[in-house]
């Protein structure tokens, strides 16, 4: 029993020391945090609604860019797949050309729509 009680006491002391060191480390790290970056649309001093609106606008632009990147990757993947089919004789080379032209036009149209949507906010 005495050994168990001593072990529990030692573990408790080590846990409290670790907790104290962690608290001190967090406080010193908290003191050195940088200030938040303002949204590109700007916000009035103390106007939280404009601040949130600015961050939502920036987030929507980033989401639109992510959608464009996903579309580009998808069209590229389909182009490579169609190229591989044409190379092995399962598809014609004209299909590769049509996919390239249609995919490029689709990407231009999606990018235009996303750019137009970014100005709405």
pLDDT digits (tens, 9 = 90+) for 55-95: 888 888 888 888 888 988 999 999 999 999 999 999 999 99
Mean pLDDT of the chain: 82
12-16, 23-27, 46-50, 81-85: lowest mean pLDDT where?
23-27
Distance of CA 71 to the CA centre of its chain: 16
Is the distance from CB of 91 to CB of 85 less than 8 angstroms?
Answer: yes
From residue 110, how far is each of 50, 51, 72, 89, 98 by CA, in Å?
A: 28, 28, 10, 32, 18
Average pLDDT of 104-116? 87
Q: Which percentage of the chain shows pLDDT scores above 70?
A: 83
């Amino acid at each position: 029993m005495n050994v168990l009680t001593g072990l529990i006491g030692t573990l408790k002391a080590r846990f409290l020391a670790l907790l104290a060191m962690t608290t001190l480390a967090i406080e010193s790290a908290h003191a050195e945090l940088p200030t938040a970056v303002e949204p590109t649309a700007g916000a009035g001093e103390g106007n939280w609604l404009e601040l949130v609106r600015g961050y939502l606008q920036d987030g929507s632009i980033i989401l639109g860019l992510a959608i464009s990147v996903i579309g580009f990757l998808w069209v590229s993947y389909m182009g490579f797949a169609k190229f591989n089919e044409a190379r092995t004789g399962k598809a014609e080379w004209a299909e590769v050309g049509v996919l390239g032209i249609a995919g490029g036009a689709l990407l231009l149209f999606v990018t235009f729509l996303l750019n137009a949507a970014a100005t709405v906010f």
